[in-house]
Structure 1
Amino acid sequence: MDRLSSVLSAFRPKATSISAFHFSRQNERLALSADSSYWLYLISGELSLTTHGESRTRLKEGDGVWFATGQDLRASLIQRLHCETKLLICEFDFATKALNPLLDLEWQWVKVEKGDEIALQLSPLKSILLTESLQPRCGSQVVIERLAEAYLVQMLRLFIQNKKIELGLLAGLSDARLARAIVAIHEQPQQAWQVASLAEKAGMSRSVFSGLFKSTMGMSPMAYLTSWRMRLAAQRIKNGDRNLAILSDELGYQSEAAFRRTFKKVIGMTPGDIGRQSRL
């Protein structure tokens, strides 16, 4: 399995909302859910986006920005005479932030400017998405959702290829050596991986591998292995898998009690809590 598919096969993005926002006031508040991922694309006009923490970026027509997780934004118009400002907002359900490793860095946003290589490669798919979004036809809703999902996957692939992200899972997958170890964890979470065996997968010495993994991923190899196992477990429990004895064995734990303790520590709630939430 390739490096991106090894993540998306477990946490597949689903487009939940695609809409065009027309600005009628100088300042608008965009409340983007922290449990969703977003792609914002400026169809026309010029706009300044500011987060609650005062991080700011300026978008010109044709620019876009990906938010790993949503946050409250203040959008301010940069006025140009007789120019309408219109923003395409694509919202994606990627599992909750507690489960999806792609959403770990809640502050993370990645700007894609109109003329850069990533934007040029996304252009054909973007044109179809905009046409379907702005000129709805029979079946457009389904078409738009699938196009938005394909657009996001292609964009994440290009982020990896172009080493666009410096910290977190996508950054780790951007490094061919780390990616071999990460994909091994994703594909065989039940294995009794150790730092030495993962370093061997990466073709690196143990010490160099450990240092690079932690500086790139923001956690140690063993911490990531545990986190991945527990997130897979939570996803399976949400989807109706309630036999914890079998589940813990399949994820490399020798006892259900050890599995339960680790689950509560990593996820912040018990397996039973996850199961009850999924039935609500």
Structure 2
Amino acid sequence: MDRLSSVLSAFRPKATSVSNCLFLEFTSHLSLSSDSSYWLYMIEGELILNPKGSTKTDLTRGDGVWLASGLNLEVLLPKPSSHNKKKVEAKLFICEFDFGSKALNPLLDLAWQCVKVEQGDEISQALAPLNALLLSESLHPRCGSQVVVERLAEAYLVQLLRLFMQTKKIQFGLLAGLSNAKLARAIVAIHEHPNQAWQVASLAEQAGMSRSAFSGLFKITMGMTPMAYLASWRMRIAAQRIKQGDKSLAIISDELGYQSEAAFRRTFKKIMGVAPGAINRQT
């Protein structure tokens, strides 16, 4: 399995909403769910996204931005110049994606991750044909457009994440780890074989690195140790299987490499914050 598919096969994105929003006021607000990821694209005009406590993002026509998870944003329009009294407005294209709950999906671990794609850069050029098709279907709906738009948006997101990895656009977190060829080999090994009795040494061997070099690079890039990521991935997979309700805890714990259900329960509560039986309420 390839690097990106090793994540998306477990946390498959689903387009839940594709729309466009027209901003006419100098100051507006845009409320985006923290349990969803977003692709925002400037169709017309320019604006500033101002998240509370974080860096502002300027967008002009043709720019886009991926938000790993949403939040409430202040939206600012530029003030008209003294010699140009034309009414200022901006139109923003918004794709919302469901990756599962924030508690389960490692792609949503960072509270605020904003990745801007400027018009004309390498990523924007690669996305141009699919972007044109997505906008055309969305802005000029035809028979079956809703289904077509949703599938195009999902394909667009996968291509976007792939290009982020190829260009090393993201420097921290899971996508950054998967962008590193050596770390990716160890991460994919965890994703594909979570039941294996991995140790730092065996994961470093997968990466083709020394134990110390691997541990240091992994923690700097992923924000946690290799063994912490292994435990986190196992518990997230376990939570999904519990939610599906088709297997007992004993079977799930065995499939994920735990020698006893009691050890599995302790690890689950430590990482997920709730007992396995409460996961449906927690998510």
Q: TM-score, normalization: structure 1?
A: 0.97
SS in 2 for 1:43: strand
Return 5+ residue gaps in structure 2 as ranges: 81-85
Task: Provide the residue aligned with 2:186 in structure 1.
Answer: 181
User: Equivalent residue for 2:237?
Assistant: 232
Q: Which residue number in structure 2 is paired with residue 10 of structure 1?
A: 10
* One-letter identity of the residue aligned with 1:205: S
1:31 alignment partner in structure 2: 31
> How far apart are the structure 1 equivalents of 2:11 and 2:45?
34
Answer yes or no: is the 8 Å Cα contact 1:46–1:79 preserved in 2.
no
How far off is 1:115 after superposition?
1.2
Instruction: Letter of the 1:220 partner, please give it.
Output: T
Q: Secondary structure of the equivalent of 2:103?
A: coil
How do 1:188-199 and structure 2 match up within 5 A? 188-199=193-204
Match of 1:137, SS state, is coil
| Residues 78, 88 of structure 2: 8 Å contact kept | no
SS of the equivalent of 1:261 reads helix
Counterpart position of 1:58: 58
| Structure 1 alignment gaps of length 5 or more | none
Equivalents in 2 of 1:276, 1:114: separation in Å?
42
Q: CA separation in 2, counterparts of 1:65 and 1:50? A: 13
CA deviations on 1:22-64 (whole Å, 9 max, x unpaired) are 1121111111111100111010001011001142010000001
Q: Aligned partners of 1:118, 1:78: CA distance in 2, in Å? A: 26
Cα 1:20–1:212 change in 2 (3 A) is same
Give 1:27's aligned amino acid: T
How many residues of Structure 1 are paired with residues of Structure 2 in the alignment?
278
SS at 1:28 equivalent: strand
Match of 2:97 in 1: 92
Look up the equivalent residue of 2:52 and give its one-letter code.
H
Residues 62-88 of structure 1: per-residue CA shift (max 9 Å, x gap): 001101010111011125635641001
Range that drifts further, 136-145 or 196-205: 136-145
Q: In the alignment, is the contact (CA less than 8 A) between 1:240 and 1:275 conserved in 2?
A: no
Compare 265-274 and 219-228 and name the one that shifted more.
Answer: 265-274
Q: Tell me the distance in 2 between the aligned counterparts of 1:67 and 1:241.
A: 33
Whether the 8 Å contact between 2:77 and 2:88 is mirrored in structure 1 is no
Q: Is 1:164 matched up with 2:169? A: yes
Moved over 2 A (4+): 79-84, 275-278
Q: What root-mean-square deviation, in Å, do the aligned CA atoms of Structure 1 and Structure 2 show?
A: 1.2
1:107-150 deviations in whole A, cap 9, x for unaligned?
11100000110000000000011001111111111111100000
Secondary structure at the residue paired with 1:30? strand
Match of 2:22 in 1: 22
Secondary structure, aligned partner of 1:41: strand
Q: Which residue is equivalent to 2:249?
A: 244
In the TM superposition, what whole-angstrom CA distance separates every residue of 1:154-190 from its partner, at most 9, and x where no partner exists? 0000000000000000000000000000000000000
Question: 2 CA distance for matches of 1:272 and 1:72?
Answer: 32
Contact 2:249 2:261 in 1 (8 A): yes
Listed one character per residue, the Cα deviations across residues 10-30 of structure 1 (whole Å, up to 9, x for unaligned) are: 000000011100112111111
Q: How many Å separate the matches in 1 of 2:41 and 2:229? A: 32
What SS does the aligned partner of 1:212 have?
Answer: helix
Give 2:35's aligned amino acid: D
Please give the per-residue CA displacement for 1:229-274, whole angstroms capped at 9, x wherever unaligned. Answer: 0000101111223400000000000010111111111111121112
The answer on 1:146 being equivalent to 2:151 is yes
CA distance in 2, matches of 1:171, 1:262: 26
Residue type of the alignment partner of 2:62: G
Give the 3-state SS of the residue equivalent to 2:257 in structure 1.
Answer: coil
> How has the CA–CA distance of structure 1 residues 184 and 54 changed in structure 2, closer, same or farther, with 3 Å as cutoff?
closer
Mapped partners of 1:214, 1:54: distance in 2: 24
SS in 1 for 2:97: strand
